[in-house]
Amino acid sequence: MVLSTSAEQNQIQSGATNDVIIEAKAVSKHFGSEIAINEVSFQIPPGKIFGFIGPSGSGKTTMIRLLAGIYKPTAGDVSVLGLRPSQFTRQTRERIGYMPQLFVLYPGLTVWENLSFVASIYGMGLQRGARLKQALDFVELGGHKNKLARTLSGGMQRRLGLAATLVNDPELIFLDEPTAGIDPVLRQKFWGHFRELRDKGRTLFVTTQYVGEAAYCDLVGVLVQGRLLVMDTPTGLRHRAFGGEIVDLRTKERLDRSYLEILRGLPFVTGKVTRPDEQGTIVRLIVDEASTAMPALLDWCKEQNVAIESIEEHLPPFDDIFVALVKKEAAHG
């Protein structure tokens, strides 16, 4: 009895402190008359990949710098690992990794020497060899450790930058546009690495301009001109953009308008019913939940004697989702 009570208490305590690893409360950052971050608030739970997505100049780097304690907010507050960045101790900093947009390597040092230099800054001791090797192997640079940094390709330099960020095994990792300007294959690999780190319990704060990368994140924040437009899961964003999930029903014969009216009135149809292709036989429906709407639609087709060609959920690309979200916001604002 006593044991179970204390175990429960432990759980409650750790739950309470581990709920939020990064918090921004109405934080703003001005540079003179330029408002780089405009009253942004969010909470990020630990053990997740948070994607901070926005175009160039939207304030991504400024936000990371506020969280890392490089900048002080003009107004509002941020808290990281339960502390204001101005209160960070050396111990706090050791728990945080930060890969800036332009990672600086020493061109005249080898891959290994560059990494070893970073490790020495972190005060890692003589046993650091194993840790360096692990970080290099993680980014698949183990076979290149004696190459001079200046002879590395852009992609390899980026991988070395990532290894350097991970060398002291931080639990919270800020990555500022780590996938910018690298080829799609390496981008995918990077996201694979990020997910692997997430699966080991690390928290990642990743900025990007590639909206398609939203799909790899657990949570996504959309930043436009210093304002956080929306923060949600990838599925949640899709829902917000279109008012629900999307189902495409392809029938053998083109349905006439009266059928479309009936479909609009069905209880699980929560949004528009359209024909994405005027000539074709597809009817596109916005529904609350595709997985339950599809069997219900099949039943409806049977009742109405409508012959079906196919039925499937339509997953629009994230580019379309972002365009819809930004348009929606513009209409409201």
Please choose, out of 60-68, 75-83, 229-237, 270-278, the segment that lies near Mg ion by the rule CB under 5 A.
Answer: 60-68
Interface pick for ligand ADP out of 40, 53, 62, 269 (rule CB under 6 A): 62
Contacting range for ligand ADP; rule: CB under 6 A; set: 30-38, 111-119, 236-244, 284-292: 30-38
Instruction: Answer yes or no whether residue 157 interacts with Mg ion by CB under 5 A.
Output: no
For 24, half-sphere exposure in the C-beta direction (CA atoms, 13 angstrom radius) is 27
- The one of Mg ion, ligand ADP, none whose footprint includes residue 117, by CB under 5 to 8 A per kind, is none
Q: Please choose, out of 28-36, 271-279, 283-291, 323-331, the segment that lies near ligand ADP by the rule CB under 6 A.
A: 28-36
Q: DSSP letters of 80-96?
A: ETTB-GGG--HHHHHTE
For the bound state, the minimum distance from the C-beta of residue 291 to Mg ion, rounded and expressed in Å, comes to: 38
Q: How far is CA 129 from CA 113, 125, 204, 209, 296, in A?
A: 11, 9, 25, 35, 60
Q: Determine the angle formed by the axes of helices 154-166 and 111-121, rounding to 10 degrees.
A: 30
Nearer to ligand ADP, 31 or 117 (CB): 31
Spatial CB neighbours of 263, under 8 Å, sequence gap ≥ 6: 269, 273, 283, 285, 300
208 binds Mg ion (CB under 5 A): no
Place of tokens 């699980």: 268
Number of separate helices (H) and strands (E) present in the chain: 11, 13
Q: Which stretch binds ligand ADP (CB under 6 A): 58-66, 192-200, 261-269, 306-314?
A: 58-66
Scored b (16 or more CB within 10 A) or e, 122-147 reads: bebeeebeebbeebbebbebeebbee
Q: Which does 5 bind (CB under 5 to 8 A by kind): Mg ion, ligand ADP, none?
A: none
- Rounded distance between C-alpha atoms, residue 130 and residue 144, angstroms: 16
Q: Does 179 bind Mg ion (CB under 5 A)?
A: no
Q: Is 56 in the site for ligand ADP (CB under 6 A)?
A: yes
Binding residue for Mg ion (CB under 5 A) from 38, 58, 61, 165? 61
Q: Is 78 in the site for ligand ADP (CB under 6 A)?
A: no
Q: Can you say how many angstroms the Cα of residue 291 is from the centroid of all Cα atoms in its chain? A: 25
- Is the Cβ of residue 57 or residue 129 nearer to Mg ion in the bound state? 57
Which of ligand ADP, Mg ion, none has residue 157 at its interface (CB below 5 to 8 Å by kind)? none
Q: Is 33 in the site for ligand ADP (CB under 6 A)?
A: no
Residues that bind ligand ADP (CB under 6 A): 31, 34, 36, 54, 56-62
Residue ranges binding Mg ion (CB under 5 A): 60-61
